[in-house]
Amino acid sequence: MQMKIELEDLSQVRKKLTVEIPQEETQRVYEEVSKRIASVARIPGFRPGRAPMGLVRSRFKNEIKDELIHDLLPKSYDEAVKSRDLKPLALPQIQKLEFQPGQPLHYEAVFEVRPEFQLGSYRALSLQKKVSPVTAEEVDAVVARLREGLAKFVPVDGDGRPTRSGDQLSIDIEGTYIEKGTGQPAADASLNEQAVSLALDDAGTLPEFNDSLKGAAVGETREFTASYPDDFARKDLAGKSVRYRVTVRAVKEKILPELNDEFARELGLACDTLEQVYTKVRQDLEHQREHQMQNSLQEQAVDQLLERNPFEVPEVLIEERVEQKLQQVAYDLARRGLDISRGGVNWQKIREEMRQASEREVRAALILHRVAAAERLEPDEDEVDQELERIAKARGETLEKVALQYEKENRMEQLRDRVKSRKAMRWLLDQADIQEVSP
């Protein structure tokens, strides 16, 4: 097919092809489509295939035009793209589509391609590794949290002992909302709740409750005013002030377990002795610290690669990455049993928050792919299988199920690209000049 093709660079990654299919070709297809429709067209007074062609073309001119475009446009677009050695990242935006019988077909196709850029220096990146050994105090803090997790709450005898930090209270609440500006009780606005559980000095307890109820005895009533922040979880209290009258109905004292071998066995960490608990906690902290240091090195490497390789990022790749992140969020919420279909999730806000990080990730991936190509770093099948196993383990699913899903959704190439990026990053870190520094 002889076509007129013009290529215009709208930007580094955005291209426009102007295509004109000659009248000879459009007329040939016009005749074919007309005959095809005439053979099945139902027109009163005529048997299928017997109606005059002029009448068929008059009655079905829109259908003929649509089928002609359907036949010609995809094929012509593919030929035009190949003729200019272009590889669009997604389907094009078709605009200024023009056709009339007996005339050429004309249209513009706008699309994005991967950016072409000169790969900047990437060998021997200068990185800093912040070395911070795990301290005994950090280990003790983790063991203390584990101990808190096994704490038991024992009812306090009615001996009048005043409440203190760590106690768990059962309280009855009478609350009156306070008008902003006047400080007066709001009309017909009250809050009454019975047997509310509250932990003194807990991270989720408002300071006014901690300060006012500490030192109270069972049966004692105290009055105070509490002000809630604008982002408070309960919408009926967010940004408001409430005058409270609170009665302590019951008190439970927190009893921590003894630090001994029995405590070690109760933790469920496959530890039989307290010494093994401390050893495991230290090893876990050291593993976390090493993971954090590796992440820091990778972030430093990405920062330097981005600085040395400025280029425009295709919008379609950014949106694709955002969609992947949104799918993961939805998957995580569903696994936690949350209903994401009732409009309780502000997806637009989440999308906007993800955009900047997504652009950075896409930009970094494009550079890492270029590094992998330059150094001939390709993932083998074992590395791809290991990545599938990692995903399956994180999801709590079988390897076979995850592999089948990726094949079905045509995402295996994406997965290989991800493995290739990691391989390139490992190579960069192996070649980097890494200086150990104190935090």
Statement to judge: residues 283 and 199 lie in one domain: no
296 phi and psi angles, rounded to 5 deg:
-65, -45
Instruction: Note whether 329 and 377 are same-domain residues.
Output: yes
Query: In this predicted model, what pLDDT tens digit does every residue of 390-405 receive, in sequence order?
Result: 999 888 888 889 889 8
Q: Let me know whether 51 and 172 are in one domain.
A: no
CATH number of the domain within which 375 lies: 1.10.3120
| DSSP class per residue in 210-273 | HHHHTT--TT-EEEEEEE--TT-SSTTTTT-EEEEEEEEEEEEEEEPPPSSHHHHHHTTSS-SS
- 106 occurs within a structural domain: yes
Q: Read off the pLDDT of residues 64-118 as tens digits, 9 standing for 90 and up.
A: 999 999 999 999 999 999 999 999 999 999 999 999 999 999 999 999 999 999 9
Query: What's 218's domain CATH number?
Result: 3.10.50.40
Residue 344: band (very low, low, confident or very high) from pLDDT cuts 50, 70, 90: low
Q: Which of 81, 112, 143 lies at the terminal end of a domain, its last residue?
A: 112
Q: Give the model's pLDDT for residue 374.
A: 94
3-state secondary structure of 198: strand
Q: Which residues pair with residue 8 across a beta bridge? A: 16
Q: How far apart are alpha carbons 87 and 76 in whole angstroms?
A: 15
Residue with the two structure tokens 């379609």: 316
Q: 131-140: long-range contacts (C-beta < 8 A, 24 or more apart)?
A: 131/293, 131/436, 131/437, 131/438, 131/439, 132/289, 132/438, 132/439, 134/282, 134/285, 134/286, 134/289, 138/285, 139/278, 139/281, 139/282, 139/285
Query: What is the value of pTM for the model shown?
Result: 0.75
Is residue 342's pLDDT more than 60? no
Rounded CA gap, 207 and 10, in Å?
58
On whether both 169 and 282 belong to a single domain, the answer is no
CA distances (Å), 245 to each of 190, 209, 299, in order?
11, 11, 52
The percent of residues in the chain predicted with pLDDT above 70, rounded, is 96
* Average confidence (pLDDT) over 200-228: 92
Q: Are residues 91 and 156 in the same domain?
A: no
Work out the end-to-end distance of the chain between its first and last CA atoms, rounded to an integer number of angstroms.
Answer: 67
Say whether pLDDT at 321 is over 70: yes
Domain presence at residue 264: no
Tell me the average pLDDT of the chain: 91
In a domain, 119, yes or no: no
Among 41-45, 95-99, 120-124, name the most confident range.
95-99
CA torsion through residues 260, 261, 266, 270, sign: positive
pLDDT at 371 over 70: yes
As a whole number, mean pLDDT of residues 324-349 equals 76
Task: Tell which of 255, 288, 322 closes a domain.
Answer: 255
Give the pLDDT score at 248: 94
Same-domain pairing of 159 and 221: yes
pLDDT over threshold 80, residue 380: yes
Instruction: With CA atoms as reference, report the closest residue to 199 among 221, 174, 220, 171.
Output: 171
The average pLDDT across 140-157 equals: 93
Q: Within 13 Å, how many C-alpha atoms sit on residue 116's CB side?
A: 7
DSSP 8-state code for residue 380: -
User: Is the pLDDT at 334 greater than 80, yes or no?
Assistant: no
User: How many domains does the structure of the chain reveal?
Assistant: 3
Whether the per-residue pLDDT at 359 is higher than 90: the answer is yes
Q: From CA 243, how far away is CA 227, in angstroms rounded? A: 9
Instruction: Residue 384: give the domain boundaries.
Output: 274-437
Average pLDDT over residues 300-310: 95
> Is 317 in the same domain as 426?
yes
Confirm whether 145 is domain-assigned. no
**C-beta of residue 177 within 8 angstroms of C-beta of residue 186:** yes
pLDDT classification of 158: cutoffs 50, 70, 90: low
Please name the residue ranges forming H helices in 125-223: 136-149, 207-213
Q: Is the predicted pLDDT of residue 59 greater than 60, yes or no? A: yes
Same domain, residue pair 291 and 240: no
How would residue 181 be classed by pLDDT, with cut points 50, 70 and 90? low
At residue 307, what is the residue type?
Answer: E
Look at residue 230 in the predicted model and tell me its pLDDT. Answer: 87
Tell me how far CA of residue 327 lies from CA of 10, 25, 322, 398, 422, in angstroms: 31, 45, 9, 19, 22
Q: Is the pLDDT of residue 191 over 70?
A: yes
pLDDT value at 315 more than 70: yes
pLDDT at 236 over 90: no
Task: Look at the block and give the residue holding tokens 């309780």.
Answer: 344
